[in-house]
Amino acid sequence: MDNDSIPAEPQQEASEKLTEIFARVNMSDLPAMSSHVTDLITLTGDKKSSAQELANIILKDYSLTNKVLQVVNSAFYSLARTVTSISRAITILGFDAIRDLAIPIALFEDFLKSGVEKTGISKLLAKSFLSGLQARDLSEKKSLKVIPEEAFICSLLHSLGKIIACLYFPDMFREIEAKVQKGISEEDASLEVLEGLTYSQLGMEIAKFWNLSEKIVASMEIVPEEPESAFDELGQLKNLSYFTNQLVDLVCHEKEIHHLLKTYSEMFSIDIDEVVVMMNWSVENAENISRTVSFGLNKLKVRSKIVLLELTSKNYKYIPQKEDAPKDSLPETVQPDEPETVLPNEDFANKFIHEMTEKLVESFQVNDFYKELLGGICKAGGFDRAILAFVKAQSTKVVLTGRMGHGEIDKQGIKAFEHKLYSSFMLANPKLVIPRSLKLCKDMAIPANTKDVFPEGLQELVKDRTVYLLPICLNKKPIGLLYLDQKDASRKLSDQQLKSVRLMRDLAVMAVRKMRDKA
C-alpha cells in the first residue's frame, strides 16, 4: 500500500518479532490502514452511530463513493430506480447493508494500492469475503449469540496475516505456499519461514498496530477452544470465523471437509447439504460486490469446485453389504468380487472430472456433454462399452431405452437396448437386476453369465461380460441408467476407479438437473 498517500500514525508499538520481519523485507515503516477504513470498521461495534456518520465517512473518499453507488445500482440489488446519493442508498438498503458493502470495497482497494501481483491477492480477498458473508449468514440463520455485523468483519479479517504476507513479502509467501504444497502444515511452514511467527500471529500484531477491536484480534486465533456455553459470544465468534475461513479454503483447494464438518456440525447445526447451499449463496452474493472479488472468484473457479463438493460429499457405497441389504436383495451370484487390480487411469480420471465439472457451470450442449462423458467413463474404468439409457413412460407401458453409447456398440445396438419396467413384466421376472437397480437407486455389478438376471432381449448383449449398472436418480427417483460392461472377467476395478466412475455418473445427474432447471 502507498504509505505516502495514506498518512496514518501507529497507535501502539508492534512486537519486536514483527519489526524484525518487516526490516528483513526493507520496509522502514509498518503498514498503515487508511483512516476511512478504520472509521468504517469502528462503526461495526458502535451502536450509537448514525446513518449520516456512515455517509460522511464514505463521502470522504470519492473512489469509494462511486464504487458503493455502482454496486447499489447493479443487478445485485435490482432497485426500481437509480440511486444517486449515499444517504439515499442507506435509506433504501439500510445502515448495516451499506456499511458491510463499504468495508470490503474500501479495505480491498487499500490493499490493491500496494501494486502486488493481482491474481494472488484477489484470490485471498475473494475467499475472505466469502467467509465473511457465510459467518454473517450463519449467525442470523442459526440464532447464534453473535452480532451478525461483527461475525462478518471478524471472519473477513481472520486471514489478515496471510493477506499481509502476500502483499508485503511475496517471496516469503510463495516459499510458505511451496512448503504447504509438499504436505507441511501452513502453521509449521509459516513458523519456519517467518522465523517464529505464524500467519495468525502476524495478523494479530498488525490488527493491534491498526488499533482494531479486541474481538477482531481474538477471532484470528487458529483452532480456537469450544465456546464455554451458548452464551459465550467471543467463543462463538472465534469458532465461527475459523470455521467459515477453513471451509472456504478447503473447498477452494478441493480438500476433504468432512473432518471440519464433523467438528462443527453440532456447534452450528449444519450439515453437508446446507454447506453446499451456503457456498452457492455466498458466491452469488459476492460476484457483483467488487471487481476484485469477481476476478478472484473467477480465478479460483469456485462454482465448479462447489459442484465437486456436492459430488464428493455423498457417502458412496458400491452395493449394500449383506447386513445392510434389504430382505429382498439380489442373490449372492450378482455380488461382485473384491477389487484386485488397479488400472493406470486415475490421473486421467481426476483431470477429466475437473474438466467436465467446469463445463457444467458454463453453457453446454447436453448431447455433446453426454457423449464426452461416456468416452471418459470407458477410459477411466477400462470398459469396453457404455450405454446411457433413460426411462420413458409410453401410453400403456414404461420402458428403459438407450439414448447414446460409446465403445463396441453401434447405433442399432444402442436402439436395441430396451428393458420393460411395467409391473406385470417385473412381477413375472423377479430376478431381473435392472429394475431392482433402478427401484433401489443402487449401483450393482453382475459377474459374467449370471443366469436369469437379464431379459431375453439383452442376453446377447451381456454374454461373457461383467456388467455394471449405475442408476441415474433425481430426488431418489430413477430417471435413467448408465450401463457399462467389459469382456475380461479377471480385470477388477479399484476402489478409486469405482469412486471416479460414480462421480462421472453424478455429473450426468447434474447435467439432467441443470437442463430441467432451464426448462
Q: Tens digits of per-residue pLDDT, 262-308?
A: 999 999 999 998 999 999 999 988 887 777 788 889 899 898 888 88
Mean pLDDT of the chain: 83
pLDDT digits (tens, 9 = 90+) for 140-153: 999 898 988 889 98
Domain range annotation of the chain? 117-149+225-313, 332-518
Q: Which grid cell is 78?
A: 435490482
Q: Is 484 helix (H, G, I), strand (E, B) or coil?
A: strand
- Residue of higher predicted confidence among 335 and 60: 60
Q: Which of 199, 485, 508 is nearest to 353 (CA)?
A: 508
Banded pLDDT at 27 (limits 50, 70, 90): low
Q: Which grid cell is 308?
A: 465437486
- Residue of higher predicted confidence among 117 and 225: 225
Give the mean pLDDT of 420-436. Answer: 86
pLDDT digits (tens, 9 = 90+) for 470-509: 999 988 889 999 999 999 777 778 888 888 899 999 999 9
Q: Which of 174-183, 236-245, 341-350 has the highest mean pLDDT?
A: 236-245
Rounded Cα–Cα distance for residues 104 and 285 (Å): 13
Q: Which of 239-248, 287-296, 309-318, 330-339 has the highest mean pLDDT?
A: 239-248
pLDDT digits (tens, 9 = 90+) for 96-114: 888 888 888 887 777 777 6
Q: What is the pLDDT of residue 324?
A: 37
Q: Is 393 helix (H, G, I), strand (E, B) or coil?
A: strand
Q: Which of 10-24, 39-53, 332-346, 360-374 has the highest mean pLDDT?
A: 360-374
- Residue of higher predicted confidence among 422 and 385: 385
> 82-91, 327-336, 347-356 — which is least confidently predicted?
327-336
Q: Is the Cβ–Cβ distance between 151 and 240 less than 8 Å?
A: yes
Q: What is the pLDDT of residue 490?
A: 72
Does the pTM exceed 0.85?
A: no
DSSP state letter for 4: G
Rounded Cα–Cα distance for residues 447 and 513 (Å): 32
Residue 14 above 50 pLDDT?
no
Q: What is the pLDDT of residue 481?
A: 95
Rounded Cα–Cα distance for residues 329 and 340 (Å): 25
Main-chain phi, psi angles of 486, to 5 degrees? -150, 150
Give the mean pLDDT of 396-415. Answer: 90
Rounded Cα–Cα distance for residues 308 and 299 (Å): 16
Q: What is the pLDDT of residue 343?
A: 46
Q: What is the pLDDT of residue 75?
A: 66
Q: Which DSSP helix (H) or strand (E) runs through 350?
A: helix 346-360
Q: Which fold has domain 332-518?
A: Beta-Lactamase (3.30.450)
- Percent of the chain's residues with pLDDT above 90: 38
Give the mean pLDDT of 201-214. Answer: 86
Rounded Cα–Cα distance for residues 236 and 184 (Å): 28
Q: What is the pLDDT of residue 13?
A: 43
Rounded Cα–Cα distance for residues 288 and 301 (Å): 16
